[in-house]
Structure 1
Amino acid sequence: MAHMVFCAKYKQELPGLDEPPFDSELGQKVYKTISQRAWNEWVERQKMLLNEYRLQPWTPQAQEFLVEQMNDFFYGSGGELPKEYVAPTA
């Protein structure tokens, strides 16, 4: 049976992650409150942020920025897109 969570982003019970995404208090919070669907959307958003801002993910500054963005994406207003971002056309 899938790990079910009440997703903080979608405000409904959905299948959760198979395991915490990282070994920290925040990783446990995400595991307990974020659905797989929301996590997959965050992964895509994170890729876009890394590319648009040309971040180097191994730097402490980039990691801090991404954690702030992730918190806003899951638990806040959803996060804003970069001003210069143009969504790809299908």
Structure 2
Amino acid sequence: MSRTIFCTFLKKEAIGQDFQIYPGDIGRRIYDDISQEAWSLWLNKQTMLINEKKLSMIHHEDRALLEREMIQFLFEGKDVHVSGYIPPKD
């Protein structure tokens, strides 16, 4: 059964996560306050960051960068910017 939360990213009621998908206190905040839809938006941004910046999850610095970007995107309202990336025209 899905649970409904108030998503702080989307600023509306939405379907929440089924389980805590990220460790620690940040993971708890995501579970409590971030919807599946918002998480999906983050995953798209994360993929773009990993590909464009050639990040490796083996390196602690790269994981730390992704975590900072995730917090800024999901909780501080800052969009992810990758230098040189031009979004496709609609």
TM over 0.5: yes
> One-letter code of the match for 2:10?
Y
Gaps spanning 5+ residues in structure 1: where?
none
Using the TM superposition, give the Cα deviation of residue 45 of structure 1 relative to its aligned residue in structure 2, in angstroms.
0.6
> One-letter code of the match for 2:64?
E
**1:1-80 alignment, distance < 5 Å:** 1-80=1-80
Q: Distance in 2 between matches of 1:21 and 1:58?
A: 19
Gaps spanning 5+ residues in structure 2: where?
none
> One-letter code of the match for 2:36?
Q
Using the TM superposition, give the Cα deviation of residue 88 of structure 1 relative to its aligned residue in structure 2, in angstroms.
4.5
TM-score under structure 2 length normalisation: 0.89
TM-score under structure 1 length normalisation: 0.89
> One-letter code of the match for 1:56?
S
The 8 Å contact of residues 9 and 77 in structure 2, kept in 1 or not, is answered as: no
Deviations 1:17-50 (A, max 9, x none): 1111123111111000000000011111100000
- Alignment RMSD, CA only? 1.5
